Amino acid sequence: MGRWLVETPWSRLRDGTGSSRLRKGVLVALCLVVAAGVLLLVTDLGDSASRTSADLRVESVDTPARAVAGSRITIEDVTRNVGQRSTEATRTSYYLSRDDVWSSSDRLLGARRAPALGAEDSSRGRATVTLPASTTTGTWHVVTCADDGNQVDESSHGNNCRARSLVVDPVTEAAADPEVEPPPGAADVPLPAGVTRAPADGGPSYYGAWENSFPADPSFFPIGVWPTFTPSLLQPMGINFMLPLRDDQTGTDRPIWGTAETDDMTAVNATPGFYAGASFYRTQDGRPWGSRAVLNVFGDELDGACPQFFSNLPPDLASIQAKAANQDPSVCADFGGLTGDAFVEAERASQAADPTRPTYIQVTGVYLDHRQYEVKYTMADKRAICANADILSYDYYPVVFGSGPVWTQADYVKEARLYCQQSRPVYAFIETDRMSTDGTVYPSPAQTVAEAWNAIIAGARGIQYFDNLRHLTDPTYDGGGTYAAGAMHEAVTALNRRIRSLAPVLNDTTVSGYVRTTGDMTVLVKYHSGHPYIFAIPHADGPQTVTFKLAGTHGATATVLGEDRTVEMTHGAFTDKFSDENQVHIYRID
């Protein structure tokens, strides 16, 4: 072919013996042949390069689905070398972008070191980064790029990045309380060696796994109420979600807003930072429920009453519901509740029907049986039931039912967390009133507040007020004359305000092995902004004088939050008084 190109066409064109048409035709043919040869050559060289060069790319990226500006998120990626030559160590970087393609205007969030990779080797790694506080709400993308900076001689740099979408939610909670946070310039109090640090069960990042759920916001702590009320009355009290009604005669759910005329999300959506939980698997009249409908709830207390499913359930759940309504022994246990297997089947059906929202289950003293593990459900059943839920809630009312002191609320939280193996958030119901119109026992405001703190200090990740007589929002209610008018309303409002101010602390790292106490106490230790925080409440009736001994901490001071006082430490210990079983103290170690 080379000989023909040189001798035959060129000679005829050059010596003028060919016609004009021939010269043009041959010239065109020559150009095509040469171009084809060059293309073949380039292609061959490219194939050769790809066979002999490294080629790094991000194979997968995992981030929370949602977060808020200023929060910390964890990004995990797999970086792979799909080429045939080994690489040296490189940097995989994470950028925040408005679209799914990297550009120089994207914001660098952080990076990790990827080790040297042989041909077809991969590296899985993660980094925890902070979203800029200035990030606006809406859909963003985390663009993850291998070999950031192009340090490796690759066959292609055009395939190095992969993007994943991230919805940035509005920050709905109050700003951090200056009394809670350490003073500006305060020296950190490091934790000593030997203590254990762990994330809180279902901290804010937990909710970021769902498209429709509570905000992934460190300043958000779930504070709910049952039954449903007008959101505009609840929000000023610091309550941020409500749960559905259930008809005790039929076991079905009523409209979550109480009346058919308002059976939509209008009131919830009109109340900033407020959420609703109910049976949300289907749309309302063909319209999506929306992002403020945050929990899927398919029944109530099914551990004790097998038929108490809600209505309007998806087909797979409706099938279980139909069997339960007929007391079918394949789903109903002889003790009256769902069998362990049926419970798990229902939970999985719920999650499959609507994976955009967490599934919430509500249990009673049948599931929480004071650790008498084989009474109704086996330990394996209890762990499976919690593991296949997304949020586990329980109700226990020691004052109204006379079943124990307020501090036994802590025991129930610990029992639930034991079954959940600290992997799911546990919510506790808190009593606020007598149970029925003919009831004569009223919890006092101090007892309601103490129950809430017992639950939280024992590790509850949300509280819910039980107020079936609907007195909680009444600023004149007096508990049948057992306390001053409006006292419960004021106590709950003040409690919620305090919980919200402490939410960034409660949502931060939990510490074990840092403090020992005298007396009988329930204690929670958190580490936030470089300081340990100690939450303490008596686990016995009557006054106590308690000594706290801190591991490896000397020369510090215990600031008692909300009380305008400090307690001096001597040799790593301090002593304080508790007037009765209802008093809580919260200390920041400075």
Indicate if 123 and 260 belong to the same structural domain. no
Mean per-residue pLDDT, 131-145: 86
- What digits encode the pLDDT tens for the residues 169-204? 765 544 456 679 898 888 999 999 999 999 999 766
> Which of 471, 488, 507 corresponds to the end of one domain?
507
Split into its structural domains, the chain has a count of 4
CATH number, domain containing residue 224:
3.20.20.80
Residue 4 clears pLDDT 70, i.e. is over it: no
Indicate if 435 and 340 belong to the same structural domain. yes
Indicate if 449 and 521 belong to the same structural domain. no
Dihedral sign from CA coordinates of 264, 267, 272, 277: negative
Indicate if 126 and 148 belong to the same structural domain. yes
Structure tokens at 269: 């959506």
Residue 38 lies in a domain: no
Residue ranges making up the domain that contains 24: 1-32
- What digits encode the pLDDT tens for the residues 512-568? 999 999 999 999 999 999 999 999 999 999 999 999 999 998 888 999 999 999 999
Indicate if 462 and 527 belong to the same structural domain. no
Residue 490 lies in a domain: yes
Indicate if 268 and 139 belong to the same structural domain. no
Indicate if 109 and 226 belong to the same structural domain. no
> Which of 507, 539, 557 corresponds to the end of one domain?
507
The pTM of this model reads: 0.73
Residue 196 lies in a domain: no
CATH number, domain containing residue 113:
2.60.40.10
Is 318 or 245 the better-scoring residue by pLDDT? 318
Dihedral sign from CA coordinates of 271, 273, 279, 280: positive
Indicate if 408 and 491 belong to the same structural domain. yes
- What digits encode the pLDDT tens for the residues 493-508? 999 999 999 999 999 9
Beta strand residue intervals within 425-492, DSSP E = 426-431, 462-466
Indicate if 495 and 516 belong to the same structural domain. no
Residue 176 lies in a domain: no
Residue 44 lies in a domain: no
Residue 264 clears pLDDT 90, i.e. is over it: no
Residue 213 clears pLDDT 80, i.e. is over it: yes
Indicate if 60 and 76 belong to the same structural domain. yes
Indicate if 221 and 352 belong to the same structural domain. yes
Residue 187 lies in a domain: no
Residue 387 clears pLDDT 90, i.e. is over it: yes
Indicate if 136 and 223 belong to the same structural domain. no
Per residue in 174-210, is it b (16+ CB within 10 Å) or e — as a string?
Answer: eebbeebbbeeeeeebebeeebeeeebbbbbbbbbeb
Residue 51 lies in a domain: no
Residue 32 clears pLDDT 70, i.e. is over it: no
CATH number, domain containing residue 570:
2.60.40.1180
Structure tokens at 15: 């010596």
The pLDDT value recorded for residue 72 is 74
Cα-based distances in Å from 86 to 51, 90, 120, 160: 12, 12, 9, 16
The pLDDT value recorded for residue 22 is 35
Q: DSSP class of residue 309?
A: B
Residue 182 lies in a domain: no
Percent helix, strand, coil in the chain, to 5, is 25, 25, 50
